């Protein structure tokens, strides 16, 4: 099945208002490569101004709470992201799984909250270096999929990002064969959970993707785009990835 490529940027805890100038070049590239979906997930404080300044660009959040409101100091609810103009939200990023101790069940709750409020959920999964060295990468990732993906999910609101933890921000990437094997395993596990919908779900690769390696990674079967950290912070580095996705 043909799936539109999605290139999503994760700014993490980087950027202030003045950094939004980078979005203009990204918006321009998104418009001239209309066959590619492009999104930027800035810090929550920048979502509304980003939407206002670059209305042609999809803006997303980096996390949401599983509940819609309540006594959860410091958390952001999915309806708040939606009100700010977000269209998608990353959930279960490995930095949150590690730093905030988020479980697969938490991530599933967050994905459902996103869907309740009309946001696409980008669920992140990925093994640590120790797990890969122990030959456990596929088992770890498919278990994360089994625990994190809501059985009621459909392809129009679910996106998966496979992000090996050891590849994030390190400049190292898995071999093309390893990427192909894990993405195929993710697609198969999705089939077990959501049946025929699995064919339409986009599975992104994330971890040190850049303008030099994007073409090779995006050409792999079942790689339907990229989740990009460092290289999404500047238009100069992000636009070549959009161009690679456009072929």
Using CB under 6 A, list all residues that contact ligand PEP: 10, 163, 168-169, 206-209, 227-231
Contact criterion met (CB below 8 Å) for 183 and 221: yes
Q: Which residue number has the CB closest to ligand PEP?
A: 229
Of the pair 47, 194, the CB lying nearest ligand PEP is at 47
| Shortest distance, position 96 Cβ to ligand PEP, whole Å | 10
Give the N- to C-terminal CA distance of the chain in Å, as an integer: 18
Is 90 in contact with 10 (CB distance < 8 Å)? yes
Closest distance between ligand PEP and the C-beta of residue 163, in Å?
A: 5
Nearest CB to ligand PEP, comparing residues 92 and 229: 229
Is position 93 annotated as part of the catalytic site?
yes
**Which one of 33, 65, 66, 93 is the catalytic residue?**
93
d(CA 10, CA 30): 16
How would DSSP label each residue in 108-158?
A: HHHHHHHHHTT-EEEEEE---HHHHHTT-HHHHHHHHHHHHS-TT--TTTE
Tokens for 141, please give them. 């990732």
How many whole angstroms separate alpha carbon 182 and alpha carbon 242? 23
Q: Closer CB to ligand PEP, residue 92 or residue 194?
A: 92
Residue among 114 and 194 whose Cβ is closer to ligand PEP: 114
Q: C-beta of 178: minimal distance to ligand PEP in Å?
A: 16
Q: How far is the CB of 69 from ligand PEP (least distance, A)?
A: 28
Cβ proximity to ligand PEP: between 10 and 120 the closer is 10
Q: State in angstroms the smallest separation of the CB of 207 from ligand PEP.
A: 5
> Which are the contacts of 105, defined by CB distance < 8 A and separation ≥ 6?
147
CB of 63 to ligand PEP, least distance (A): 12
Nearest to 93 by CA among 157, 140, 162, 47: 162
Buried/exposed 6-18: b ≥16 CB within 10 Å, e otherwise? bbbbbbbeebeee
- Who contacts 203 (Cβ-Cβ below 8 Å, separation ≥6)? 159, 160, 161, 162, 183, 186, 187, 222, 223, 224
Q: Is 198 exposed, middle or buried (0-12, 13-18, 19+ CB in 10 A)?
A: buried
Q: Which residues are catalytic?
A: 93, 163
């Amino acid at each position: 099945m043909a799936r539109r490529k999605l290139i999503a940027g994760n700014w993490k805890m980087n950027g202030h208002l003045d950094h939004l100038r980078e979005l203009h070049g990204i918006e321009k590239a998104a418009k001239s490569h209309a066959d590619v979906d492009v999104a930027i997930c800035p810090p929550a404080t920048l979502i509304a101004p980003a939407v206002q300044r670059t209305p042609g660009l999809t803006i997303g959040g980096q996390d949401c709470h599983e509940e819609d409101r309540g006594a959860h100091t410091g958390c952001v609810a999915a309806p708040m992201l939606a009100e700010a103009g977000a269209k998608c939200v990353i959930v279960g990023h490995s930095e949150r799984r590690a730093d905030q101790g988020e479980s697969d069940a938490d991530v599933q709750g967050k994905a459902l909250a996103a869907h309740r409020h009309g946001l696409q959920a980008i669920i992140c999964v990925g093994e640590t270096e120790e797990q890969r060295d122990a030959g456990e990468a596929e088992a770890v990732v498919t278990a994360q999929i089994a625990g994190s993906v809501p059985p009621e999910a459909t392809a129009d609101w679910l996106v998966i990002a496979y992000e090996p933890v050891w590849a994030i921000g390190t400049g190292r990437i898995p071999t093309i064969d390893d990427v192909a094997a894990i993405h195929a395993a993710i697609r198969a596990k999705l089939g077990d959970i959501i049946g025929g919908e699995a064919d339409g779900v986009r599975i992104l690769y994330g971890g040190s993707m850049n303008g030099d390696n994007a073409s090779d990674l995006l050409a792999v079967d079942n790689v339907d785009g990229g989740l990009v950290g460092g290289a999404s912070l500047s238009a100069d580095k992000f636009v070549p990835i959009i161009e690679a996705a456009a072929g």
